[in-house]
Structure 1
Amino acid sequence: MKKRSASVDATTPQRPEDEYLGVGRSLAYGLQHVLTMYGGVIAVPLIIGTAAGLDATETGILVAAALFVGGLATILQSIGVPFLGAQLPLVQGVSFAGVATMLTILQGTPGKEGLRVIFGAVLVASALGFILAPFFAKVIRFFPPVVSGVVITTIGVTLMPVAAGWSMGAEGDPSHGSVANIGLAAFTLLVVLLLSKVGSAAISRLSILLAIVIGTVVAALLGRANFSGVGEGPVVGFPTPFEFGAPLFVASAILGMFIVIIVTMTETTADIVAVGEIAETGVDSKRIANGLRADMLSSTVAPLFNTFTQTAFAQNVGLVAITGIRSRFVVAGAGVIMVVLGLLPVLGRVVAAVPSPMLGGAGIVLFGTVAASGIRTLAGVDYRSGLNLVVVAVSMAMGLIPVVSPTFYEQFPSWIQVVLGSGISAAALTAVLLNILFNELSFGSRPGSSTFAAYPPRVFPKSMLRGLQEGDTLVNGRLIGADGQEIAVVDDHLVDEARRRVETGELTDTGQIHRVYKSDPQ
């Protein structure tokens, strides 16, 4: 009997993220992750390729490289090796944080030469980030629930414009923002909700993927999906190292990109903390350091294969929350799919042909779920002194400023635009600093010192805790036990007598005790 128990213990995952679902299910759930982040991962190479004046074929090289490296980075981050990888369900891809800096570099050095300057800046700045990763990871102690809750909520809220943009359709398309596009997004959202309601767990967990497929079929039948370009271009292609020439190293470009690296490290830290909360698994400084090192190593290697900085994608944190699939092997499956898409451009063109309104409808559920997870974390924060209320209020406001007013920091130096222009990094930095000010530093503070304080702190006698058990709660003035049954409350001097009468069977229910001792709290 003992041997059987030991065997069970040896095969049972100790962490929820270590659950293995098999190859087929891992790839199916992984495809959901790829569809969720595909638009984001190809957007950056499309933007930079256009700004650099590349033709369609050369821009396609950037797109394939982004998928290929992003897939490898995802596998490294989720599977992990010693000192590399957080071993969490985190999908990696090209970071949006560096777009503004890269466009600035291209303005000063246009064309392919500017692209080589970008690659040189990414390489050096990422190598520096790799060295700093263990020190940067120490910030985990500054991510209590009041901070992590703000970050998770902000991730969800700041991604809502992405879902809205997808729902409206492609920019520049005549149908952008049309009722038809938004209607398709609403239809996809409805399918997600209906599939989530069905009794089958497998269908419910695949609701995002199935809804996108069903929505795409409907769009095709209505003539609003175009797959004519799938057959154009090469079927197979391997990223050629230094396709555009060797990297060029310019000090100003490296400095600007290093600021971007600090921002991406902040965002990745926030994503690691967020997915740890959602997956209900432990995240410590060692795990964050491993995750950041994987991030930075991938970013350092990225220029070799003609792509840019890598970071964890916040979109996919929402997918973990909505599906409940916490397995890191599912995300590794997504990485395999991305690598294949990078090596088989024809498959990438099939995925790219999925109309964006389908992604928009699914994104509303995904990103809303992330925000709801953050709100759930914030619900457990102690607000009685009012100081934590200030932390949440100001941090959320700072995170929302770039969302509601994208040009707010337009007149500021570029490094400030990079740091505060991302709602996630702005909220994270603000929450960490305010938490240190109000909760870590003792000077200048006293209980109830905040103008937001609702009431003074309460003191509870230790002796009164002796009769309570884990899970007992007070509801509407009544004490409810962990088993859901009401616990009778009587005057102190009558407790022994009441217990004796219960033990002898004289009193058999809570109502009797209340009537005998007139102790009904209501």
Structure 2
Amino acid sequence: MKTEKAKIVNGVFDEKLPLAKLLPLGFQHLMTMVGSFIVPVIIGTAIGLDAKSLAYLVSAVLFTSGVAILIQVIGISKGIGSRLPFVMGSSFITLGPMILIGKQYGMPTLFGSIIGSGIIIILLSFFLDKLLLLFPKVVTGTFITIMGITLAPVAFEELAGGHGSENYGSPENYIVGLIVLAIIVLLHKFGRGFMKTMSILIGLFVGTVIAGFLGMIDFQPIANASWGQVVTPFYFGTPVFDLTAIFTMTVFCIINLIQCFGSFSIIDETFGTQTSTKTVVRGLRGQAVAQVVSGAFNSVPHAFLNENIGVMALSGAKSRLVPITTGVMLIVLSFLPKFSAAITAIPQSVRGGAMLA
């Protein structure tokens, strides 16, 4: 985990960069994390949200992703946030339980479970070393596999064009969706470096372009979306705290926490640093605090995006000011409903191919 030449983190990520450099570098991180924006679209579509609510859910994710980055990189007081240059995006690990809870109990219970589990994770962060011993890889792998199998029918419905759609089960849907699936799987298996980390984004982009040529994209939601809005707390109603839903979400949030734990090793290996245990705990606690904020603002749990560490390595820009710039950009974009509507315009068969992968 640590190299012989490892150095303490302090000062390594303090480089000052001019705004002319920060803007393109921050935007590069934003484009790399576009794949995580598809998470709220998959959730909202599976639950059955209308176009307006779906676009609002995407805006909420943009807003809370920006807030999560700022909490992690800038920190709150002395005990929350690692102050390392991490980029935070939607967690794919919690995708399954969010869909199941949303479909069975409704949106208020879904966001109540995210808030409740976030509070539990904050409390557990004080006993993190003992907690991780209860979740070896065989346990976390079993949970994720079971949830993946449970979600398979939803993915196949999306691949076919979405249940109830006019072109449900058409050859075009299957062809486009399978192309997306093939691109993601092949790039993830055989791709190297940047191409591998961008596999989901590349698959979505190619699939959307093909769908556009085939006339499968509905631009009406983009045209109907307003030019400005403010993301507000409890948009979908007052949170409902159901114990079963909170327990289910907590299990998967702990698994997400373990994945986040590994990100510190990656950043140490990449930049030759040595992150202290206290910094790791502060970072994971910051992730949990951001999750509580996410639940209040109708959003999803977040995770450290390891692909963005790769982006930093490739660009050579490791200043913490870069992800801060990305966070501010995300918050600004959350005020633009047309941008969120453009993300929801990605055809369901394209999303189904990505979800199946």
- State TM-score, norm by structure 2: 0.69
Per-residue CA deviation, residues 451-505 of structure 1 (Å, 9 max, x unaligned), is xxxxxxxxxxxxxxxxxxxxxxxxxxxxxxxxxxxxxxxxxxxxxxxxxxxxxxx
Counterpart code for 2:96 = A
Maintained 8 Å contact 1:137/1:285: no
Once the 2 structures are TM-superposed, how far is the Cα of residue 103 of structure 1 from its aligned partner? 2.4
What is the deviation of 1:232? 3.6
User: The residue matched to 2:63 in structure 1 has which SS?
Assistant: helix
| Cα shift at 1:176 | 6.9
Aligned residues: 288
Match of 2:245 in 1: 253
**What is the identity, as a one-letter code, of the residue corresponding to 1:57?**
K
Q: Residue in 1 aligned with 2:67?
A: 72
% identical equivalent positions: 30
Matched with 2:333 is 341
SS in 1 for 2:13: helix
Match of 1:238 among 224, 230, 246: 230
2:257–2:284 CA contact under 8 A, matched in 1: yes
Q: Which residue of structure 1 lines up, in the alignment, with residue 324 of structure 2?
A: 332
Flag the structure with more relative contact order, 1 or 2, with Cα contacts below 8 A and sequence separation at least 6.
2
Larger Rg over CA atoms: 1
- Relative distance call for 1:22 and 1:177 in structure 2 (3 A) is farther
- Structure-1 residue corresponding to 2:101: 105
Pairwise CA distance, 1:35: 0.9
Q: d(CA) in 1 for partners of 2:98 and 2:343?
A: 27
1:317 aligns with 309
User: Is 1:55 aligned to residue 50 of structure 2?
Assistant: yes
Amino acid at match of 1:32: Q
Cα contact 2:108–2:237 (8 A) shared by 1: yes
Equivalent residue, structure 2, for 1:83:
79
Give the direction of change, closer, same or farther, for the CA distance of 1:253–1:338 in structure 2 (3 Å limit). same
1:260, CA displacement in angstroms?
A: 1.2
In the other structure, the counterpart of 1:116 is 108
Correspondent of 2:23 among 20, 27, 31: 27
Quickly say closer, same or farther: Cα 1:352–1:336, change in 2 above 3 A. Answer: farther
Taking the aligned partners of 1:290 and 1:23, their CA distance within structure 2 comes to 29
| SS, match of residue 102 in structure 1 | helix
5+ residue gaps, structure 1, are 1-12, 141-169, 190-195, 197-207, 356-402, 407-522
Alignment of 1:49-448 (within 5 A): 49-81=44-76, 82-109=78-105, 114-136=106-128, 174=172, 228=219, 230-349=222-341
- Secondary structure of the residue that 2:330 maps to in structure 1? helix
The alpha-carbon deviation at position 345 of structure 1 amounts to 2.2
**Separation (CA, whole Å) in 2 of partners of 1:257 and 1:275:** 27
* 1:486-505 alignment runs, 5 A limit: none
Contact kept, 8 Å, 1:227 with 1:350, in 2: the verdict is no
Unaligned stretches of 5+ residues in structure 2: 1-8, 133-157, 162-171, 188-192, 348-355
**Is 1:97–1:264's contact at 8 Å kept on the other side of the alignment?**
yes
Secondary structure of 1:247's counterpart equals coil
Per-residue deviation at 1:135?
A: 2.6
CA contact (8 A) 1:85 1:290 kept: yes
Q: Is the 8 A contact 2:85 2:318 kept in 1?
A: yes
How far does residue 314 in structure 1 lie from its aligned partner after superposition?
A: 2.5
Q: Does 1:40 align with 2:36?
A: yes
**1:110-162 deviations in Å (ceiling 9; x for gaps):** xxxx211111111111111112223316899xxxxxxxxxxxxxxxxxxxxxx
- Structure 2 residue matching 1:25: 3-state secondary structure: helix
Q: C-alpha separation between the residues in 1 aligned to 2:53 and 2:26? A: 28
